[in-house]
Structure 1
Amino acid sequence: MNNPAKILDIDTVRAFVLVADLGSFTRAAEALDTAQATVSLKLKRLEGLLGHRLLERTPRHVALSGDGERFLPAARNLLDAHQRALAGVRTAPPSRLTLGISDHVAGAELPTLLARLNAYDPTLVVEVRVSSSRDVIARYGQGELDAAIARRGEEGADGETLFREPFGWFAAPSFAYRPGEPLRLATLAAPCGIRTLAIDALDEAGLPWTEAFVGGGVLALGAAVSAGLAVATLAHRVAPTGAIEVGEAFGLPRLPAQDVVLMARPARREARDVLKVLAAAFRGAAAR
C-alpha cells in the first residue's frame, strides 16, 4: 500500500513563518488574529506531518531548530508562490499601502520589519515614509497615508496602542558633564515633541542647558551622541550602540514613557493583514 501523500496546509505554513520571524507564539497569534493555543496546535501538526522538530521552545523565547532553519526558505517560497498564484487571477490592481513612521519610533530593526512585510505578501507594495511624529500625523490626517505609527503625545495621535516606550538621557561613556554647567543637548529641530519634552523637564528642574547639536533625524542624533558631542533624549530601543543612560549619574530629571500608537484605515484585507504583522513585530521588538 502506498503511503498517503503529505500535503502542506498554507495557513499552517504561514503560522510557522510568523513564529520564526517574530520569535513568539503570542506575536504570531496577534498577527493572525487567533489564539496562541491555535498557533501552537498548528505547529505541532506541521512537525508531525514533516516528522521533524522545527522549533525549540523555551519559557521566554522560540528559536528555530536545525530542521526549522532548513525548512524556512522552502516555507517562504511556498507562501510566495501561493500569493502570486492568487494575484494572477485577481481582476483588481495590486494593493498598495502607504505607511508613515516616526523617526523616534523606527529603530534599527525597521529594515528587518519591512522585509518581513514583503515576505508575508510580496504582491503588496508598501511605501514607507520616516519623518517626525508631528509630520507623520499631519500627513495621515490629510489622507496622504493609509497608516501611521507615532507617539500618542503628539496632537491628533489616537489609535491602537502598540507598546509603551521608555525614554532616557543618552551619552557616550566619555562625555563629561559637571553639575551647574549648561547641559549640552543634541536635539531635532523644533517643533519636535521629544525636544520639547526634554527642555521642559530641564527647565522645570532648574537645570541650565544649551543646544550643541541640531540634527535632521534620530540617526544624526545618535552620531552626535557617539561622537561625544552632547546628550540626547532617546527611546532606549533606538539609542546608538555603546551609548549609556546618564540621567541618574548626571542628576537629570526622569522622563515619562511614551505610548506608541498605530493609526490605520487601509481599505483592502491584504493591507490590514500586513499591518497586523507589522504591529506584532513592533511589539516584539519593543519587548526585547
Structure 2
Amino acid sequence: MTDVTTLDVDAVKAFVTIADLQSFTRAADALGTTQGAISVKLKRLEQKVGQKLVERTPRLVRLSAQGAVFLDPARAFLAAHDRAIAGLSAERRRFSLGIATHVGAPELPTLLARLNAHDPALTIEVRLDDARDLLDAFDRGIIDAVIIFREDDRRDGEVLGPDQFGWFATPDFVHRPGEPLRLAASSPACGILNIATRALDAAGLPWNEVFLGCGAFAVAEAVSAGLAVSVFSCRMAPPGTIDVSRRLGLPELPASEIVLLSTLSDARSRAALRILAAAFRDHPPASHHR
C-alpha cells in the first residue's frame, strides 16, 4: 500500500459493510445512505490506500485480493475508533431483539459479533421464540424490536423480504397411506403450526403431533432423524431434509413476509438494527428438492 497518514472512518465503515453484505444496495440501506454515496466513499478509500479493494460486476460484489487482506485491519480500525468514542461516556446502550425461530438467519451469531466489534458500547440481547410470543412481548413493551413473519391481518412493520414455507422430511421418510401424518411441532402456540394443521384439516388428511413442546432444536433433530415431518421456512430447513409436499400429497402452504417492528429511536441503535435488517433482506432461500 502507499503511504497512508489518515483513514476516513465513514469510508472504512462503508467498505466493511459492503464486504459483510456483498451488496452496495444493502450496504447503503444498512448505513442509512444512498448507493451513490457508498460508491463515493469506497472510491475515496481506494484512492487513499492506492489499491482496488472491491470488485464489482452487474451480478457480483466481492473483495479483491487486497481487499481481503485489508478487511481484518479495517474491522480493528473501526473497533478502536468506537472504543475511543465509547470511552467518553460511561453509559452503555442496550436493546432487546426478538427473532422468530422460523425466521432466524444461520449467519446471525457471526453478524452479532461483527455488530459488537463495530459498536462495543451497544449490547443487543437476542431472544429466539415463536412469533406470537415475541409479538405479544413487543406489544407489551418487553422487547424493543422483533423480526418475525407476518401473521393474520397485522399490516404494520417494515417488510424485509418474502418467506416461503414447506413440508420437510428426510428423503427416506416413510408415510403409509391412510395413517396419520407424524407432525413434529415445538409449540401449540406456533402460528405456522396452526396454518399447517388447518391446511391438513381442509385437505382431509389425518395427522398426529409428536415431539410437541420439546423446542425448535428437538423438532429439527426429530425431522433430521427421519421420525416426523415438520413445517420450516425454506431458509431454515434442517440440512439433509427435502420438501416432501408433492411426494406425500401435502397441501401447499401460503407464502408470508419477514417483517421488522421496532420502537427504537436513538441513531446508534437504529443503525445497528439496519445492518441486521439488511442481512435478512433479499437473503436467498436454501435450495431443496421436491
Letter in 2 for 1:118: N
Query: What is the SS of the residue equivalent to 2:279?
Result: helix
The Cα shift of 1:285 comes to: 3.1
Letter in 1 for 2:229: V
Matches of 2:118 and 2:271, distance apart in 1 = 9
Contact conserved, 1:165 with 1:258, CA < 8 A, in 2?
Answer: yes
**How big is each residue's C-alpha offset from its partner over 1:126-165, in whole Å with a ceiling of 9 and x where there is no partner?**
1111111111111111111111111220686731111110
Matches of 2:83 and 2:103, distance apart in 1 = 32
Matches of 2:282 and 2:164, distance apart in 1 = 15
- Corresponding residue for residue 269 of structure 2: 271
Query: What is the SS of the residue equivalent to 2:264?
Result: coil
Tell me the TM-score normalised to structure 1 length.
0.92
The Cα shift of 1:255 comes to: 0.5
Contact conserved, 1:186 with 1:213, CA < 8 A, in 2?
Answer: yes
Matches of 1:94 and 1:85, distance apart in 2 = 13
Query: What is the SS of the residue equivalent to 1:175?
Result: coil
Identity of aligned residues (%): 52
- Corresponding residue for residue 189 of structure 2: 191
Query: What is the SS of the residue equivalent to 1:59?
Result: coil
Letter in 1 for 2:147: I
Matches of 2:231 and 2:85, distance apart in 1 = 47
Tell me the TM-score normalised to structure 2 length.
0.92
Matches of 1:194 and 1:97, distance apart in 2 = 27
1:153-232 alignment runs, 5 A limit: 153=151, 158-232=156-230
Residues 1:56 and 2:52 aligned together = no
Residues 1:250 and 2:252 aligned together = no
Matches of 1:61 and 1:215, distance apart in 2 = 43
Structure 2 CA distance for partners of 1:123 and 1:131, relative to 1, 3 Å: same
- Corresponding residue for residue 131 of structure 2: 133
The Cα shift of 1:171 comes to: 0.3
The Cα shift of 1:212 comes to: 2.7
Structure 2 CA distance for partners of 1:99 and 1:154, relative to 1, 3 Å: farther
Matches of 1:263 and 1:157, distance apart in 2 = 11
The Cα shift of 1:107 comes to: 3.4
Residues 1:68 and 2:45 aligned together = no
The Cα shift of 1:208 comes to: 1.4
Query: What is the SS of the residue equivalent to 1:104?
Result: coil
Matches of 1:268 and 1:154, distance apart in 2 = 30
- Corresponding residue for residue 121 of structure 2: 123
Residues 1:83 and 2:78 aligned together = no
**How big is each residue's C-alpha offset from its partner over 1:198-253, in whole Å with a ceiling of 9 and x where there is no partner?**
10011111111111332433322211111000111000111011100110121111
* Number of residues of Structure 1 aligned to a counterpart in Structure 2: 285
Most deviating of 199-208 and 147-156: 147-156
Letter in 2 for 1:184: R
The Cα shift of 1:287 comes to: 6.0
Matches of 1:219 and 1:63, distance apart in 2 = 34
Matches of 1:216 and 1:280, distance apart in 2 = 31
- Corresponding residue for residue 26 of structure 1: 25
* Ranges in structure 2 where 5+ consecutive residues have no aligned partner: none
The Cα shift of 1:94 comes to: 1.0
Query: What is the SS of the residue equivalent to 1:234?
Result: strand
Structure 2 CA distance for partners of 1:281 and 1:82, relative to 1, 3 Å: same
The Cα shift of 1:56 comes to: 2.4
- Corresponding residue for residue 281 of structure 2: 283
The Cα shift of 1:4 comes to: 8.2
- Corresponding residue for residue 106 of structure 2: 108
Contact conserved, 2:86 with 2:120, CA < 8 A, in 1?
Answer: no
- Corresponding residue for residue 236 of structure 2: 238
